[in-house]
């Protein structure tokens, strides 16, 4: 199976191409390019470069795994728009993965035996996007959610936690201050799309259109009336 | 690896018939269309689907960019599939994929462009990044077979411009608004008077039953040498008179709408008349006496009537695309793409969204103009 993996949720662009996955000839090529903006300009050329290196054509790709957020709203939509267009063009199967789970798949995460992993990414306004994983079993322990700083301590449910991501230190401090046990691995870890490609090869594809996971409503307030008074109103 | 031409695409040979998919996501309409351009330059719409997001924005009193972007990404691929299905064409039948690159709301532009680039790459076809204003400017080629040169009045919620269209890609701005766009003036007047949005049609409906002579509102910039527009002063004059009358009766509202619309149309006609003189000057002996109106406000019947009077007196013909092709749509994007492709122009997959993208990049700023000019 050949899998294309895309992540555009954070200030980096990550693309991976896995060929012959779930076979002895499996091979994964991946590239992560840090960038604050410009994902929409670089995404397709980078996909093309990796396909070329893998000696694959677009038509050879069987499925696309894409991070659906949480993350930058605009960034998240870029990957989803591309994935949905690939499906439309070539009827490829789509496999959604949360951006936090794609981070948790990184082999750079060094959890100790008995530790759970919490991926916590700064969402600004005193909040973080968080998701907890059982590192040993490679399983999620709940859906991603948005959590206020004052609620960070509630993340611990018994086992010691290894916190990853841009809000890892704040989470660790909150947990330790409330008598819990947590440590932070503060390296910057982006979603690992090479790992996500391998992960996606054995997952069930989505049956409904994939949608961004924003976790926050759009910033908009219903407008107050600015109209003049009408007779009899 | 050094790859100067990163994505291989099949560019059709000159003179072939072209079939182009057009994608439009620059504001609050998600749209996709398939258009065919014959070898002799004739146009045919094979499919044209538009989904308005107005219901999602209504309670906010205007378009909310983040809400627009969320709606675009959730339905664009579905609309494209529908357009392809209606047209009876598959991706492999397309000559190119065109998407609006600007001007507009960047969140929406990015979705249309990434979708278009991905489809182009998957189909091995060229991608075209289209200027939304250019698409409005060229629509009469699709609907009326009209070729440049012609004088264009582009009127929408965000733009009010007079352009001399000399050819595809050749635009000279003769005039622009120094403050509000015409559509914006209608919307703000509607809001002031408590009429529903979108304000243009609402004001027009009320005006039909009102007295256009009850209030003598100013005709901004009338008689000036340059063909610029201004509507802020007119808007303020309407507000002042309306505030004197509060509480407003239905008759007051109808008369305010009618008087406002009459003043706005007089001002437009005066400015277009001036632009005709400038265009004739620039084109010289082969001046084609054709006035094209495009953009959402072109649907306004009072505007059409007023301009019909103007052209009759000046020996011009008036060309207005049907209403559905004056508001935002994918067919005009596909057509602009086909016109550019016919000239051998394509863009690459690194093309950037351009939230601000004037048609005439060499036009000097209008004196006293704000950022919109």
54-83 in chain A: CB under 8 A from chain B: 58, 73-74, 77-78, 80-82
Which chain A residues touch B253 with a CB distance below 8 Å? Answer: 230
Query: Nearest CA of chain A to the CA of B311: how many Å?
Result: 37
Beta partners for residue B153, in sequence order: B162, B293
How much is the pLDDT for B1?
Answer: 37
How much is the pLDDT for A187?
Answer: 77
Which chain A residues touch B243 with a CB distance below 8 Å? Answer: 228
Q: Is the ipTM of this complex over 0.85?
A: yes
**Nearest-CA residue of chain A relative to B192?**
A227
**Higher per-residue pLDDT: B235 or A233:** B235
Which chain A residues touch B67 with a CB distance below 8 Å? Answer: 218, 220
A73-116 pLDDT, tens digit per residue, is: 999 999 999 999 999 999 999 999 999 999 999 999 989 999 99
Cβ–Cβ below 8 Å for B117 and A44: yes
Query: Nearest CA of chain A to the CA of B351: how many Å?
Result: 6
Q: For an interface test with A, give the residue of B77, B192, B348 to mutate (most A CBs within 10 A).
A: B77
Helix crossing, B65-87 with B106-123: angle to 10°?
30
Mean pLDDT of the region A47-53: 98
Which chain A residues touch B246 with a CB distance below 8 Å? Answer: 228-229
How much is the pLDDT for B372?
Answer: 46
Going by pLDDT thresholds of 50, 70 and 90, the confidence category of residue B368 is low
**Nearest-CA residue of chain A relative to B3?**
A49
Q: Does A45 touch chain B (CB under 8 A)?
A: yes
Mean pLDDT of the region B326-349: 96
Q: Is the omega angle on the peptide bond into residue A43 within 30 degrees of 0, that is, cis?
A: no
B199-217 pLDDT, tens digit per residue, is: 889 999 999 999 999 999 9
Closest to A40 (Cβ–Cβ): which among B119, B243, B353?
Answer: B353
Question: Domains in chain A, start-ordered, CATH in brackets?
Answer: 3-100+190-200 (3.30.420.40), 109-185 (3.30.420.40)
DSSP B248: B
Going by pLDDT thresholds of 50, 70 and 90, the confidence category of residue B100 is very high
How much is the pLDDT for B156?
Answer: 82
Q: How far is CA B45 from CA A122, B48, B88, B162, B346, in A?
A: 48, 7, 12, 27, 21
Going by pLDDT thresholds of 50, 70 and 90, the confidence category of residue B4 is very low
Q: For an interface test with A, give the residue of B59, B69, B120, B122 to mutate (most A CBs within 10 A).
A: B122
**Nearest-CA residue of chain B relative to A40?**
B114
- Cβ burial, residue B78 (10 Å; 0-12/13-18/19+): middle
Structure token digits, residue B239: 């507000």
H or E segment and range at residue B191: helix B182-192
Going by pLDDT thresholds of 50, 70 and 90, the confidence category of residue B370 is low
Mean pLDDT of the region B246-265: 96
Mean pLDDT of the region B144-148: 95
Among the ranges given (A33-42, A62-71, A216-225, B103-112), the one the predictor scored with the smallest mean pLDDT: A216-225
Closest to A77 (Cβ–Cβ): which among B7, B61, B73?
Answer: B73
Q: Does A181 touch chain B (CB under 8 A)?
A: no
B34-89 pLDDT, tens digit per residue, is: 999 999 999 999 999 999 998 888 888 788 999 999 999 999 999 999 999 999 99
How much is the pLDDT for B6?
Answer: 44
What average pLDDT is seen over chain B? 93
Counting residues of chain A whose pLDDT is more than 90, the rounded percentage is: 88
How much is the pLDDT for B59?
Answer: 82
Mean pLDDT of the region B248-268: 97
Cβ–Cβ below 8 Å for B194 and A77: no
A34 has a pLDDT exceeding 90 = yes
How much is the pLDDT for B197?
Answer: 78
B14-29 pLDDT, tens digit per residue, is: 788 999 999 999 999 9
A117-137 pLDDT, tens digit per residue, is: 999 999 999 999 999 999 877
Question: Domains in chain B, start-ordered, CATH in brackets?
Answer: 18-143+325-342 (3.30.420.40), 150-320 (3.30.420.40)
Cβ–Cβ below 8 Å for A233 and B247: yes
Please report the beta strands in A22-138, taking only residues with DSSP state E, as ranges in sequence order.
27-34, 63-67, 93-97, 116-122, 127-134
Going by pLDDT thresholds of 50, 70 and 90, the confidence category of residue A215 is very high
């Amino acid at each position: 199976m050949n899998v294309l993996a895309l992540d555009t949720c954070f200030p980096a662009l990550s693309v991976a191409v896995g060929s012959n996955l779930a076979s002895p000839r499996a091979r994964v090529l991946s590239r992560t390019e840090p960038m604050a903006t410009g994902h929409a300009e670089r995404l397709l050329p980078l996909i093309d470069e990796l396909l070329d290196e893998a000696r694959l054509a677009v038509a050879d790709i069987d499925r696309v795994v894409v991070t659906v957020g949480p993350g930058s709203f605009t960034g998240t939509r870029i990957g989803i728009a591309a994935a949905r267009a690939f499906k439309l063009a070539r009827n490829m199967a789509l496999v959604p993965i949360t951006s936090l789970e794609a981070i948790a798949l990184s082999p750079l995460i060094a959890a100790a035996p008995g530790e759970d992993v919490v991926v916590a990414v700064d969402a600004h306004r005193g909040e973080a996007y968080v998701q907890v994983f059982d590192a040993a079993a490679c399983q999620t322990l709940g859906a991603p959610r948005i959590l206020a700083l004052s609620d960070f301590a509630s993340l611990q449910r018994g086992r010691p936690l290894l916190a990853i991501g841009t809000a890892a230190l704040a989470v660790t401090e909150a947990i330790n201050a409330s008598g819990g046990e947590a440590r932070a691995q503060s390296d910057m870890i982006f979603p690992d799309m090479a790992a996500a490609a391998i992960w996606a090869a054995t997952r069930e594809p989505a049956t409904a259109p994939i949608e961004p996971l924003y976790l926050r409503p759009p910033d908009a307030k219903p407008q107050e009336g600015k109209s003049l008074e009408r007779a009899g109103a | 690896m050094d790859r100067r031409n990163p994505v291989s695409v099949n560019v059709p040979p000159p003179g072939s018939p072209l079939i182009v998919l057009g994608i439009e996501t620059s504001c609050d309409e998600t749209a996709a269309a398939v258009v065919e351009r014959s070898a002799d330059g004739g146009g045919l719409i094979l499919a044209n689907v538009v989904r308005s997001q107005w219901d999602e924005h209504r309670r906010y009193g205007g378009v909310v960019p983040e809400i627009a972007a969320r709606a675009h990404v959730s339905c664009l691929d579905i609309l494209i599939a529908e357009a392809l299905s209606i047209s009876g064409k598959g991706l492999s039948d397309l000559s190119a994929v065109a998407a609006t690159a600007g001007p507009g709301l960047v969140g929406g532009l990015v979705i249309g462009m990434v979708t278009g680039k991905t489809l182009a790459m998957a189909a091995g076809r060229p991608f075209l990044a289209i200027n939304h204003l250019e698409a409005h400017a060229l629509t009469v080629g699709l609907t009326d077979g009209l070729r440049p040169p012609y004088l264009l009045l582009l009127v929408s919620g965000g733009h009010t411009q007079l352009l001399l269209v000399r050819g595809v890609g050749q635009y000279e701005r003769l005039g622009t608004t120094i403050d509000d766009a015409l559509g914006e003036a209608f919307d703000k007047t509607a809001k002031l008077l408590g009429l529903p949005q979108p304000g243009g049609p609402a004001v027009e409906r009320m005006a039909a039953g009102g007295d256009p002579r009850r209030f003598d509102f100013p005709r901004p910039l009338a008689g000036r040498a340059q063909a610029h527009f201004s509507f802020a002063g007119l808007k303020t004059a309407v507000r002042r008179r309306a505030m004197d009358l509060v509480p407003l009766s239905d008759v007051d509202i109808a008369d305010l709408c009618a008087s406002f619309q009459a003043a706005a149309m007089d001002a437009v006609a005066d400015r277009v008349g001036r632009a005709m003189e400038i265009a004739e000057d620039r084109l010289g002996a082969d001046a084609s006496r054709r006035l094209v109106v495009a953009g959402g406000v072109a649907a306004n019947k009072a505007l059409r009537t007023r301009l019909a009077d103007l052209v009759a007196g000046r020996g011009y013909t008036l060309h207005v695309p049907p209403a559905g092709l004056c508001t935002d749509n994918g067919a005009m994007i596909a057509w602009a793409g086909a016109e550019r492709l016919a000239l051998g122009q394509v863009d690459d997959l690194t093309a950037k969204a351009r939230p601000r993208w004037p048609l005439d990049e060499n036009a000097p700023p209008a004196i006293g103009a704000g950022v919109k000019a």
